A and B are shown apart, each in its own frame.
Chain A
Amino acid sequence: VTGFDLEEIDRIGERLRSGGASEADYGVLRQWARTFEPAVAEVVTLLRNAMGVRPSDRPLKSELSIVRKLRERPKMRLSQMRDIAGCRVVVDELAAQRDVIDYVTRTFAGTKVIDHVANPPSSGYRAVHCEIPVSARRVELQVRTTLQDAWARYSELLTYHVHPDIRLGRGPDRWVNELSYYSQKFAEADRSDDVDAARTRRQVAFTFELQMEFVRDQLRRRARMESDQ
């Protein structure tokens, strides 16, 4: 169906995991991944035209992310990795998020919905992911609200600059607790249906951006101090 020997793709996955992949392996990986491009384009085009949203697509997960995921999950086969190809939409609020999910599940039979809003992991990450079967491929769609996305960006920032396990909900208590606090606070703001809820969400998002800028500034100062030493 794919035009590729999936057992060979899995063998390449094993070599990526062990650090023994060759240039030829990377070449095959790229060629295989490019076969997902039409499927991703179909999803993105439909979302753009039918829902009026502005998705971004990522036809191939980065090599670094593929290797990291294979090493984090020793039993995972590369051919079964569900987010090789993906796209993402950020919308203003939960109602719009539900609209996108409803549209996708109606349009693509067999779509699997992973609802991290109803069932967030311990890290506090919130979003709705869909695994969409398209043209014998599987495309991952991530749908986030503005506040869910802001939280995810903050989590990534801290992961890169404070502790590599923060994205998994581990690391220094101060930051893990802060992320947990904001995850709950944003969930409440997203769920609110007060008359002024939309304005409140914008204010929360704006305040949080200032908070992130403050943390970024602290991180830059620390980097400069370390660089000077």
Chain B
Amino acid sequence: MIYVIHFDVSLGQLISMEEFDDADRERAHARRAQLERIARERGDAAEIVTLGADDQDALRRTHGRYFEYIDAGHTTITRYGEVATPPLAVRERPTERAD
């Protein structure tokens, strides 16, 4: 599987992880490029990476640092075939929430 990880460095927190089938490599790369462009435009300190692993367990075994500090209210984990709602591109940064 391929995973597109969006990690907010300033918050030290996983913002989203989207899972893609191996056959959807191009889509995964396009998504990464889109997230990077958005982060640049907003000036976010965002680490956006594409990672390949057998499954989520294997990914968490090798790249556990992305999952160290998860806030269920702010993190979106989308499995292959699911659609993240609302689209991450228009989500507010957690620190900007009204509450």
Binary contact readout A62-84 vs B (1 if CB under 8 angstroms, 0 otherwise): 11110000000000000000000
Tell me if B's interface is mostly helix, strand, loop or mixed: mixed
* Min CB–CB distance A80 → chain B (angstroms): 21
Question: Is there an interface contact between B62 and A56, defined as CB atoms closer than 8 Å?
Answer: yes
User: Does B59 sit at the interface, judged by CB under 8 A?
Assistant: yes
* Min CB–CB distance B30 → chain A (angstroms): 10
Tell me if A's interface is mostly helix, strand, loop or mixed: helix
Question: Is there an interface contact between A54 and B53, defined as CB atoms closer than 8 Å?
Answer: yes
Interface residues on A, range: 20 to 34
> Residues of A contacting B39 with CB < 8 Å?
64
Tell me the A residues contacting B by CB distance below 8 Å.
Answer: 23, 26, 30, 34, 44, 48, 54-65, 88-90, 149, 152-153, 156-157, 159-161, 212, 216, 219-220
Chain B residues within 8 Å of chain A by Cβ, number: 30
Tell me the B residues contacting A by CB distance below 8 Å.
Answer: 9, 11-13, 29, 33, 36-37, 39-40, 45-54, 58-59, 61-65, 68-69, 71
* Min CB–CB distance A222 → chain B (angstroms): 12
